[in-house]
Structure 1
Amino acid sequence: MKGNNLLLGLAVVAVVVSIIAAGITYRSIDDLSTRFTALVSQGTINLTVETLAIVNFTNNAVNFSSGRVNSAASAASLITTGSGSVTNGNWTAQGGLIIENIGNVNVSLNLTGAKTAAQFIGGTSPAYEWNVSGPGACLNQNGASESGLNINTFHNVNTTVADSEKCRVFRFEAAVDEIRIDFNLTIPDDSSTGVLTDTITATVVANNPTAA
């Protein structure tokens, strides 16, 4: 009987010791967790990407060189579409100007010439026209493809800022970042002589394709 009581007493002691040990272990783990939590820290990485609205004439000159109207014709026609063509004259055929959006945002493209047909070419009924084309490069204010950019449709070169917008949204993505400017000139047989030249100015401002 005494032996049984002794065993029972030892069992009770063992249980009490186990409970105390478990409590100490839990507290130790809890304290350790608190210490680990206190050691956690955070850092940040930050940078700013600047907006760059800029275009560049990658083909910046159309030079028909020296020539004249054929003696049997009253005027010559010089057109830069495709690889260019000359009719009723002996000038050198040329292609058009190329403008590339080399920035990182869409822009509105404005183009102006400095001279009218009379000022640039002179003579009887001269023509000085241009066309802006660029499949996929030009969007309207709602982000859809711009209508009216037809390579076969020419308009008089404008010399005023009010009429200068040629592409509402000129895109910057590499595959669609170029626009071509072609010219259609009529040179009458009584035109001005010597070196005839005009300057085309491109002006841009950043624009969002969904902006009005």
Structure 2
Amino acid sequence: MFDQWRRRRAIQRVRPGDGRPLKRFRWWQLLTRSLFYLPPDAGAGRPAEYAVDVHHMRSENEGGDIGAHLYRDGRRQARSVLPAIFTVEGGEIQVAATTFGLRRCHFVTGDGSERQLVPDPRSGEGRRARLDRERPLLSRAIGAFSLLVLLVAAILALPQLVESLSRIPPVADRWGVFTSPLRLPAWFNVGLAVVAAVASTERALRLRYNAWLDDA
């Protein structure tokens, strides 16, 4: 996930927290906030509970970067822009985001083993995880439909994107203009973009991510 250069950068970006208490998750924050927990493990030498809090609509700096906040037993211990690496007892917590939510919030031990942190049950990720536990068939069907939507959206959008890029004067002069075989009305493209965004958001609630598909 993190190569050595990015890893060093992520660790260097961590700043100390101010000790403020962790605020309770509210229902209106379903799509704007992610909250995950790492339970204590005395056997692994980790007596405290950690929490990672991410507000997707709140900038951490003037550049508009999203930040993650690390809480230890309910008090803010550290903060960092994303992607972030927080060092804790027995390993580190790695956090990374996409346009539509988180794609990673994992605890990684020194030997390289990892596991996802536990989402707050009131959060969007927590509610999606509960659906997966209680209605696994429905959950898989929703996941498959989200993937299908993104595949169809990418297939329909790619020729139109190539045509738009080919009309840039330097590109057109060198390679000519590509004519897309698809002529979709504007309202259809707008609707397709909205549906694809919803599908990517659903995938983000499960921390599923594919660079080519979700970014496209």
TM-score range, shorter chain: under 0.3
Q: Identify the structure with bigger relative contact order (alpha carbons < 8 Å, sequence gap 6+).
A: 1
- Max radius of gyration: which structure? 1
Greater share of helix residues, 1 or 2?
Answer: 2
* TM-score, with length taken from structure 2: 0.24
* TM-score, with length taken from structure 1: 0.24
